[in-house]
Amino acid sequence: MKAPFFIAFRYLFTKKSHSLINVISLISLLSVIICSGALFIILSIFNGLQNYVSQNFNSFNADIEISPKKGKTFILSEEELQKIKQTEGIRYVSEVLSDIAVFAYEDRQFIGKIKGVYPDYYQLKRLDTMVFSGNFLLQISNMHAAVLGSGVANRLNCSVSAIINPSLTVYYPDRHKKTNLANPSKNLHIARITPFGVFASGTEYDASYVFVPIDFARDLMQYPEQITSLEIGVEQNVPLKPLIKKLQLLVGDSYYVKDAYQQEEELYKVMQAEKTAIYLILTFIFLVASFNIIGMIAILVLDKQRDINVLYSLGADNTFVKRVFMLEGMMISFSGAVIGLIIGLIFCWLQTRFHLIQFGDGSYMLNYYPVEIYIRDILLILVTIMAISFPATYIPVVKISERLFKNSTLR
């Protein structure tokens, strides 16, 4: 194998007799560099976005959520609730009653999601650290208070003040009254609550959620015992999978028991599908670009016909000649892939350090594209490029070298 490699290496760097071969070789190398570099950069950006989204949602979502498979609400007995609370590894449990409601503040209205929780709900994920205006207070003596998402507060133009806070009016359909078409307002149950804080989590929850005490939500929705979910906080370093299995046995098959990722499963599936689609598109582009390699190898074999005849006369067989040109094509692909990955790594470092590519005009929690480098992406790109380059090199080498071998034996 040393002799074919040495000859292929010399062919790679020596000047060809026809300038066209040099041009096609350069184009082939550049196509591999561009495709591998672009693929690595885009996959790294998708990794960065996925990590950023998962970190933000994980800072908001409960470690484990129990919800019904059928219907909107369910009832857990006090005995079942105690068993869950006493399960080893669980540090916090909160009943949750959540639904869509209409919020009105002065002359402005907004349709959002009301979420009734325990007053100490901030302990679940330290949500009090996300409050940038006011405080995460849901109960002040006998008075109920609300904490609004930043998007909701902006839509309602609602601000919180230590001196005076006008009440927030909440409208919810009255389940116990028949529909009154003549006077639709009679179909609504109305309650008022004082806004006491505004939070920003960097997730879609900012644009729609309003936290209220669960007692307030129960009075508003007229659900005295029902809840829509049970949210659970887990001790650090406790493995989730065994704990989820325990909880599933406790509550039965009528309920979903989900971790933080499963609660946003659709979002992660969409992001993974987008990443896969980009990977396939760029792979297809490289597949088209690999025709440059086919043309380059075919012309190179014909250009080196005199050298091939010399090799045949020295006793080399057709397999030896095929190895020379196969190695030539694979070296071009591998070197192009390595150079492209190096360029990609440099770009990712510059993006992390200097934020070269930004989102543009607008108000964002993050104003530049984050990047995250995974070794598996580097291996995936190398395998993909070599897998496409091998047949692109093999086909012209086999076809042309066999024809040259026949002609040389006839002589």
pLDDT for position 333? 93
pLDDT for position 4? 83
- pTM here? 0.81
pLDDT for position 363? 58
pLDDT for position 410? 44
pLDDT for position 225? 94
pLDDT beneath 50: ranges in the chain: 410-411
| Owner of token pair 């309003």 | 210
pLDDT for position 164? 65
